[in-house]
Chains A and B, each alone.
Chain A
Amino acid sequence: MNSVLIVDDEEEVRESVARVLARADYEVQTADDGDAGLEAFRKSPADVVITDIIMPEMNGIEFINALRKEYPKVRIIGISGGGDVGHLSYQPNAVSTSAYLAAAEEAGADIVLTKPFEREDLVQAVARMCNP
């Protein structure tokens, strides 16, 4: 059975994603921020990690970087709230969210999903990650 680690600072996001994936027969773990996520992964590595991109404390990209460094082969799905990258759009010539997402991809997220996503999109993305 494939396992998934969900990292997001919003409780209901974690819970709803977990339930959807549980019903799709995945083993699910959750963590509420990057540090907790790293710890959880170290304790019990998952096949796929789903992480929010902007979070307080250690933000999503930092988390992805750290995770990749330790576990180069891990599969990562980044989820973005759209309103997440607020301040970045004020940088001159920062092509804002797009660049941010590009950066997320560069950092090592294999797929990026924008919130709110459909159940089907979520499940398909995870499936794709497990069977590349």
Chain B
Amino acid sequence: MAARLGSLKSRLIVTVIGVHAILLPILFFVVSDLLVQSHRDAFIDQVRLYSRFLVDSLESKSMLVDQAEEMLDEVMLNGIGLYAELTINGGTFRSSLSVPDDSLQFREDFMFGDHNDGIYFLSIPVVMNAGTGILKLGFDEQPIINQIALVRNQLLVMLTVYLLVVLLLTLVFSSVIARPIRQLRRASQIITSGKHDEKLSVTSSISEFNLFSRDLEHMRSELVGVNEQLASEIALREQAESEREQMRAGMVRAQKIETLGTFSGGIAHEFNNVLTPMILYLDLAIEDAADDKQMAEDLSRVLKLARRGKSLVSRILTFSHQNSSMDVRRVNVAVVAQTAIDLLRAIVPSTISLEFKPPTGDRLEVFGDPEELDQVVVNLCNNAVLAIEKPQGKVVVEVEAVQQTGLGGGGRDNLPPGSYVRIKVSDDGVGMSDEQIERIFEPFYTTREVGKGTGLGLSVVYGIVLAHGGQINVRSKVGEGTVFEVYLLALNDWTVKKQVMNE
């Protein structure tokens, strides 16, 4: 991480240095050249001006040659003059302040620094009263040379300082850029690692980073949104799957019982067609055996047995929900349940509380057989009470008017939409496993020990519920308890209800 940003930093620095390495020397030389040139030019101008002034003075009418010498001395005294000589009429006047001859060789300069002698020589013709002569002057170049050197140094220093400042600014700038980049990187790493919850915000004075950070945050929240959507889709699908599974289980269960029912129903039907003639013939035979007491007695025993067969068949028919002896009328389910529970309370052990929750809704009537519905409540309560094996327990019975939109369950088809009366019996007993739930309505299926129940109770309930055109649902978890729900189609006749209420 540091290495990569180091490359940003070092790249910036290298670039800056590189650029300056080319530009600064060029700048330096160009600028110093200009400075040098202007200094030199200024010097020469100044020198020539002075020389001109000197010449003008010499050429003034009143100037005598003797005075000229004084003038020459003045040149020397001015400071920058190092050499002054006037040659006129064959004679040479040199300032006594001149630097000694030997070291000075007059060589005319045209440019500053010519002949490298440190002196700028020039000669000018002079026209005086006394005649025409040549004025030779020499000026000290050294101060200018020093000045130039100084200026050059100053320039160098300035440029160096400038370079350093630039480098410093580059470092600062690279940090300014590096920080938000590092933050953004850290943020995107957090997201990659799976922690999508933290909001992401990187602030920087640079708008591009702020925008980038905002975009990244957008992506993150979209990712979260997509994840949530996926999660909820999966949850919905799983729920739908489990509902379908429940429905399938219900249908399988119904199919089994239906087969069993049809089977026993079919046999029962045949049996009745066997028993009917049997009983009639036996009756006739007994009459025919009036003289033979023994035969009459034997036959009447057989007749008794045939009648037992009749009652057996009717019991089989009961649980194969094909009982023909239903007495159908309008029944208030809540009243039936209340009556049943009031009686049951007397026999249920006191350690188990049998609670009847007051019914809600008013459409609590169905078209059915009150005795059979009473049987349903009794059997379900009995089953619930027997399921409680701990010392204290609770069985709750509820009767409610409900609207159904369609659910799977114990019936062959989906419960069609409509108004129903629901009888709900719940217990906090031992509960049932999925395998037990599968078989609970099967005739003779029981999870209890021999002697504690015939295993017919719930199959009877199933038969009665189906005969009433209803459905029965069961939910249970081992160790937590069981809930049975019986749905009976409600009697949606308001006038009927009013009549019943007035009775």
Contact = CB atoms under 8 A, between A and B. Distances in A.
Nearest to A100: B324
A116 B272 CA distance: 6
B280 A122 contact: yes
Contacts of A102: 328
Task: Name the residue in A83, A90, A102, A114 with the highest tally of chain B Cβ atoms < 10 Å from its Cβ.
Answer: A83
Contacts of B94: none
Contacts of A98: 324, 326-328, 369
Contacts of B284: 16, 19-20, 23, 119
B416 A92 contact: yes
Contacts of A116: 272, 275-276, 278-279, 306, 310
B416 A16 contact: no
B262 interface: yes
Contacts of B119: none
B489 interface: yes
B225 interface: no
Interface string B261-280: 01001111111111111111
Q: Give the interface residue-count category, chain B.
A: 35 or more
A115 B275 contact: yes
A115 B277 CA distance: 10
B324 A97 contact: yes
Given A83-B265, A94-B469, A19 B321 contact: no
Given A83-B317, A115-B275, A16 B322 contact: no
Nearest to A82: B324
A83 B280 contact: no
A115 B213 CA distance: 88
Interface string A78-108: 0011111110011111111111011000000
Contacts of B317: 82-83
Nearest to B281: A16
Contact of A89 (B272, B276, B467): B467
A115 B280 CA distance: 11
B283 interface: yes
Given A90-B466, A96-B467, A80 B280 contact: no
A66 interface: no
A95 B266 contact: no
Given A81-B272, A83-B268, A118 B469 contact: no
Interface in B399-423: 412-413, 416
Contact of A115 (B265, B276, B416): B276
B267 to A, nearest CB: 8
Interface in A9-49: 10, 12-13, 15-17, 19-20, 23
Given A81-B273, A83-B317, A86-B262, A119 B324 contact: no
B367 A95 contact: yes
Interface string A53-95: 0000000000000000000000000001111111001111111
A19 B279 CA distance: 12
Contact of B325 (A23, A90, A114): A114
A114 B270 CA distance: 13
B443 interface: no
Contacts of A17: 276-277, 280
B87 interface: no
B323 interface: yes
A95 B272 contact: no
Given A10-B273, A116-B310, A92 B324 contact: no
Contact of B489 (A19, A92, A119): A92
Contact of B276 (A16, A85, A96, A99): A16
A82 B269 contact: yes
Given A16-B277, A89-B467, A96-B322, A81 B416 contact: no
Nearest to A113: B276
A32 B467 CA distance: 30
A15 B280 CA distance: 10
Contacts of B280: 16-17, 19-20, 119, 122
For the complex of A and B, 5 pairs with smallest distance between CB atoms? A83-B269, A16-B277, A93-B469, A12-B277, A16-B280
Given A17-B280, A82-B268, 14 more contacts: A10-B276, A13-B277, A16-B284, A81-B272, A82-B324, A83-B272, A83-B320, A92-B489, A93-B489, A97-B322, A97-B324, A97-B326, A116-B276, A118-B283
22 contacts: A15-B277, A16-B280, A23-B284, A80-B324, A81-B273, A83-B268, A83-B317, A84-B269, A85-B324, A86-B266, A86-B322, A89-B466, A91-B469, A93-B469, A95-B468, A97-B325, A101-B324, A115-B273, A115-B276, A116-B276, A116-B278, A119-B284
